[in-house]
Amino acid sequence: MLAVAQLTCQRGARTLFSGLSFTLPERQWIQIQGANGAGKTTLLRVLAGLVQPQEGTLTWQGLAVQECRAEWQRALLYLGHHAALKEELTPLENLRFSLGLEAMPADEAVLMNALHRFGLQEREHLPVRYLSAGQRRRVLLARLLIRPAQVWILDEPYTALDVHATQFLSAVIEDHLEQGGSAILTSHQTLGLRPGMSIAL
Amino acid sequence: MMTGFWTSMRRDLVLATRHKSEWLTALFFFVMVTNLLPLGVGPEVSLLRKIAPGVLWIGALLSTLLGLQRLFSSDHGDGTLEQMALSPVPLAWLVAGKMVTHWLVCGLPVVLMAPLLGIQFDLPTRSLGILVLSLLLGTPILSAVGALGAALTLGLRGGGALLSLLILPLYIPALIFGAGAVEADLAGISPQGHLSLLGALLVLSVFFSPWVTSLALRIALE
């Protein structure tokens, strides 16, 4: 369980949010809502540990994340709005390296299967440079299927996806929740997900 | 931990093979700078011999600087750096992998090319050996210290110029002892002292640089 207490974050002179508290139990998901520039991405980056908050604490399974950083990083999967893909590499290579950088085993068949499930048949060996925005997004999202994690932190995961992929992504998230995981996402669409909590910034 | 290090290294090597122009430019730059000088100075053997160590070392220094700018900026731009910072593998190990690749791609070719270029300065065979040895010890220092500069200037506008201003002064010790070793040998003195000091600098920079660089990268990501 992830617990957040009295979180305050300032960027320059502007306070993005202050006194923010919530808990994220297993099998639950939170939708972060807010206008453009309200600080949704910053909140996700604070939760992932990329940005230090001015005040407040983050606890994971009862421990402050500063004390269990490695466990928290293993438990979380953060997908930002950058694609985090190398244009020169193929989708398969991108996935393999992304797992390797986290010292996780990369089984070729598992990676292929993940790409196929996201509808990237016959694109596995094509440099990412030649893929469309939606296809790149799918390559990134394929990490959801191969990188085990309890908490998913997703920044606008539905961006650039077509109807079919949107439905599939919702099914993947639903599956993750079903298996005891949890998720935090910023999105303007929430198609086909069970009712979740919502936080407005 | 080692898996992370090897992956980070292999990944950059694969990228370098797909982006040949980048490191070939650096090597070509090295060859051109060291080639133009004898043409400009004139064919006087004693003078050429005298300036050879300095010219070859300055060439090596400037050419490694070329590859440094992109060391972290492309990973920063596409979000890979964020994923690296979130990896359970310590960021310093991933950074170390990138440094090693930078040396393999920008440093090692210079080391291998240097004796060939030394011939046109009429360096004796023994001095050529010392030159290679000094570059072998010295170029990893350039990669390690340079990576720190690249991390500190990450995300700044006009970071390239700032990087040179920041890094070149830090390269001075390596330049002095590296070129000094060859000069000493040319003068008939043992170059061992220079080489030992260069080795000490190497150990120091390779040991601390990944760690300090990873701290600088975390600040850049905030």
Q: What does DSSP say about strands A76-79 and A2-11: parallel, antiparallel, or unpaired?
A: unpaired
**Cα–Cα distance, A183 to A201 (Å, whole number):** 18
How far, in Å, CA of A185 to CA of A196, rounded?
A: 11
The helix/strand/coil state of B190 is: coil
In which element (H, E) is residue B85 found?
A: helix B80-86
B7 touches chain A (CB under 8 A): yes
> What single string gives the DSSP state of each residue in B148-168?
HHHHHTTT-TTHHHHHHHHHH
> For the sheet containing A14-24, what is the strand order?
A14-24, A2-11, A55-60, A63-64
Residue of B nearest to A96 (CA): B7
Confidence band of A191 (pLDDT split at 50, 70, 90): low
Q: What is the pLDDT of residue B171?
A: 93
Q: Which amino acid is at B178?
A: G
In this prediction, residues A23-31 reach a mean pLDDT of 90
**Distant-in-sequence, close-in-space partners of B158: CB < 8 Å, separation ≥ 6:** none
Nearest alpha-carbon partner for B121 in B27, B43, B31: B43
What is the pLDDT at residue B98?
Answer: 94
pTM: 0.90
| Helices and strands of chain A, counted as H and E runs | 7, 9
Q: What is the pLDDT of residues A138-189, one digit of tens each?
A: 999 999 999 889 999 999 888 888 888 888 999 999 999 999 999 999 887 7
Q: pLDDT by residue (tens digit) across A60-89?
A: 888 888 888 888 888 999 998 887 888 889
First to last CA, chain A: 22
- Subunit contact A100:B3, Cβ cutoff 8 A: yes
- The residue behind tokens 């109807």 is A163
What is the percent of chain B where pLDDT is above 90?
64
User: Where does the pLDDT of residue B158 fall: very low under 50, low under 70, confident under 90, or very high at 90 and above?
Assistant: confident
Q: Do B87 and A73 touch (CB under 8 A)?
A: yes
Cβ separation of A101 and B11 shorter than 8 Å?
A: yes
pLDDT band per the 50, 70, 90 thresholds, residue A125: confident
Q: Which residues of A touch B (CB under 8 A)?
A: 48-52, 70, 73-74, 76, 78, 80-89, 93, 97-98, 100-103
Whether chain A has a CB inside 8 Å of the CB on B88: the answer is yes
**CA of A161 vs chain B CAs: smallest distance (Å):** 19
Mean pLDDT of B22-43: 89
Mean pLDDT of chain B: 91
d(CA A186, CA A156): 5
Out of A49, A82, A100, closest to residue B79 by CB: A82
Tokens, residue B125: 């065979």
Query: Higher pLDDT residue, B145 or A38?
Result: B145
Mean pLDDT in residue range B210-216: 95
How many whole angstroms separate alpha carbon A97 and alpha carbon B219? 24
By CB neighbour count within 10 A (0-12 exposed, 13-18 middle, 19+ buried), where does A82 fall?
middle
For the record, the structure tokens of B177 come out as: 């002892």
Mean pLDDT across A5-29: 87
Parent domain of B148? 2-221
Kindly indicate the confidence band of residue A36, based on its pLDDT and cuts at 50, 70 and 90. Answer: confident
pLDDT the model gives residue B208: 95
Residue type at B16? A
Residues B54-111: pLDDT tens digits?
A: 999 999 999 998 888 889 988 998 889 999 999 889 999 999 999 999 999 999 999 9
Q: Within the 57-86 window of chain B, which residues sit less than 8 Å (CB to CB) from chain A?
A: 74, 77-80, 82-86
Which of A20-34, B13-27, B32-46, B203-217: highest mean pLDDT? B203-217
Distances (CA, A) of B130 to A133, B45, B63, B119, B180: 53, 19, 20, 13, 10
Q: Which conformational region is residue A90 in: left (phi greater than 0), alpha (psi within -120 to 50 degrees), or beta? A: beta
Q: Which residues of A touch B92 (CB under 8 A)?
A: none
Domain count across chain B: 1
What pLDDT is stored for residue B129 in this prediction? Answer: 93
Question: Residue for token digits 């690749």?
Answer: B101
